Structure 1
Amino acid sequence: MEAALRADTRAVIGEGPLWDKDKECLYWVDILGSQLHIFTPADGINRSVKFKSFVTALALYSKEELVMTMKDGFYLYNLQEDTLTKMKQPKDMREDIRFNDAKCDPSGRLWAGTTSMEGKEEEASLYRLNTDGSLAKIKDQVSTSNGLDWDRDRNLMYYIDTPTQEIVRYSYDPETGAVSDPKTVYRFPKSQGSPDGMTIDRDGMLWWLCSEAAVPSGLTRFRIRKSASIEVPAKYVTCCAFGGKELNTLYITTATEN
């Protein structure tokens, strides 16, 4: 398997790939570029929408609407009308903190974490936006909230806080969204670089991305032990998501700065 360049946008921090199966397009963002990108594989065209604030991650809300985490909270963006509406902001949000990675759980709740813009550790949090619109803080003393995904069959949630160099697994209750019993399932040696985004495939295998490794940056497939890897010709790899008609294309975002 080889990674091929599909959209040469030179994003500052590419992130948040999200496949829309109905429109057969990939949404993704450039956080520091404050842009939403829309890539259509059929014609290879990538178009973008510029905002006044950072756009950090995405979730599908309706056929024409996306929930976007921006610098300070959750927003609803209408693609057709080009309108942006603020939905929710954490009460403890600070100017030196911004949102980072986010993803919906199997029941439609949007989990989103933050990071310090000054690189301070244990200053950020992980939140859950529930389907009734309420917002819950799930975890504090986070440094850089990143990879998230769920094993539907075993009711497990996986989570990465990058500076910890760990993937942590939680027991997950799909009815309530509650998580418990955290366990470290993999610890990254420094030689493997810094873990960032993560996704899970139909076989229940995790795919994660590591930047600045002793070997070229890339992506690794894992359950109990590493079973496959892909090198990516970029120093900083950030996030990944499956897409395409058969959901067998893995889209990978990268960054030009750390």
Structure 2
Amino acid sequence: MDIKAIVKCETILGEGPLWDVAEQKIYWIDSYGSKIFRANEDGSDVETWDVPQKIGSLALRRSGGAILSLADGFYLFDFETGKTDLIERVRHKADSVRMNDGKVDQRGRFVSGSIEITETSASAELYSVGIDRKVTRIDDEIVVSNGPCWSPDGTIFYFADSRSRAIWAYDYDLDTGSATNKRKFCDFGEEDGLPDGATVDAEGYVWSAGVYKSKIHRFAPDGTRALVIDMPVVCVASVMFGGANLDRLYVTTMKSAPVPGIVETGPEAGSLFVIDGLGVKGLPEYRYGG
């Protein structure tokens, strides 16, 4: 196994790695820096775009461009012009809530949750943006939304409320986009970090960043921990398989922690990392259909 920083971009809060099979490009964001990044598989030819608010997540669209969750709601984004076009502002329960992590299901819906930025109040919610661009709420009473992803057949939805120290599983209806029968999938102990960004590999195993503890975890479909990887930075934020063979694990990290008490984050903190030699492949990400 080989771990290396391939783009030393010093993102304040690096999130949302997204490998696009069609373009053979890796995308990621700086949530606090309000930036989108794109690069080749090896990290070369980095391009950047500024967005007008803190950005929680990004997904590409089938028709071109992207859908974004920005602090106050959902937007379309044009890479050619750099312009955003509002889909819908979300009525957050408090001023301390903003949009956060999100991904696309097999039918082209964009599912994204919010975060209560003091990480003390269950004021955040989970939303789905249909291909008709209608926004619906699918869960609530959340503190920190993170790590949305699905089983290979799309019928189990995984989602972390980071402050609960758990990843949760739901039965997911691909026809309606509803998530029901919420149950605990796995727990995170004190030395595991908090569950952050996540992905599912081709074998149905869930990979999750263990933020604040330099960890990446792999969980079997029954929720048992199968692998732990130690990273050279403390604030490991999110993971995604990519590369020509979908066998490279891209990892985003934070330059500085958004919570008190974490001072030393590592000399390469904020870089985009890649891990090779895992012997595991990921799954192609879907594009938003709206």
Q: Structure 1-normalised TM-score?
A: 0.93
Greater Cα offset, 43-52 or 172-181: 43-52
Counterpart of 1:54 in structure 2 is 54
Find the aligned partners of 1:92 and 1:222 in 2 and give their Cα distance. 32
Which secondary structure does the structure 1 equivalent of 2:23 belong to? Answer: coil
1:43 to 1:185, Cα distance in 2 relative to 1, 3 A: closer
Which secondary structure does the structure 1 equivalent of 2:2 belong to? Answer: coil
- Counterpart of 2:77, as a letter, is Y
Counterpart of 1:254 in structure 2 is 253
Counterpart of 1:111 in structure 2 is 111
Counterpart of 2:179 in structure 1 is 179
Which runs of 5 or more residues in structure 1 are unaligned? none
Whether the aligned pair in 2 keeps the contact of 1:3 and 1:230 (CA below 8 Å) is no
Which runs of 5 or more residues in structure 2 are unaligned? 258-290
Whether the aligned pair in 1 keeps the contact of 2:196 and 2:238 (CA below 8 Å) is yes
- More strand per residue: 1
Runs of 4+ in 1 over 4 A off after TM superposition: none
Which secondary structure does the structure 1 equivalent of 2:61 belong to? Answer: strand
1:63 to 1:26, Cα distance in 2 relative to 1, 3 A: farther
Whether the aligned pair in 1 keeps the contact of 2:6 and 2:42 (CA below 8 Å) is no
1:93 Cα deviation after fit:
5.9
- Counterpart of 1:198, as a letter, is A
Find the aligned partners of 1:93 and 1:206 in 2 and give their Cα distance. 31
Query: What is the aligned length?
Result: 255
Find the aligned partners of 2:211 and 2:42 in 1 and give their Cα distance. 29
Whether the aligned pair in 2 keeps the contact of 1:72 and 1:99 (CA below 8 Å) is yes
Structure 2 counterparts to residues 69-148 of structure 1, below 5 A: 69-92=69-92, 94-148=94-148
Q: Structure 2-normalised TM-score?
A: 0.83
1:226 to 1:84, Cα distance in 2 relative to 1, 3 A: same
- Counterpart of 2:231, as a letter, is V
Q: Tell whether 2:244 aligns with 1:245.
A: yes
Q: 2:217 aligns with which of 211, 215, 220?
A: 220
Counterpart of 1:233 in structure 2 is 232
Greater Cα offset, 92-101 or 16-25: 92-101
Which secondary structure does the structure 1 equivalent of 2:163 belong to? Answer: helix
Whether the aligned pair in 1 keeps the contact of 2:150 and 2:157 (CA below 8 Å) is yes
Counterpart of 1:197 in structure 2 is 197
Which secondary structure does the structure 1 equivalent of 2:5 belong to? Answer: coil
Whether the aligned pair in 1 keeps the contact of 2:74 and 2:88 (CA below 8 Å) is yes
Whether the aligned pair in 2 keeps the contact of 1:2 and 1:231 (CA below 8 Å) is no
Find the aligned partners of 2:190 and 2:160 in 1 and give their Cα distance. 15
Whether the aligned pair in 2 keeps the contact of 1:170 and 1:182 (CA below 8 Å) is yes
Find the aligned partners of 2:107 and 2:131 in 1 and give their Cα distance. 8
1:236 Cα deviation after fit:
0.4
1:97 Cα deviation after fit:
1.2
1:61 Cα deviation after fit:
0.7
Which secondary structure does the structure 2 equivalent of 1:62 belong to? Answer: coil
Greater Cα offset, 155-164 or 186-195: 186-195
Q: Deviations over 1:10-60 (max 9, x none)?
A: 100000111122221111100110101112125623221122311221111
Find the aligned partners of 1:222 and 1:43 in 2 and give their Cα distance. 28
Counterpart of 1:162 in structure 2 is 162
- Counterpart of 1:143, as a letter, is V
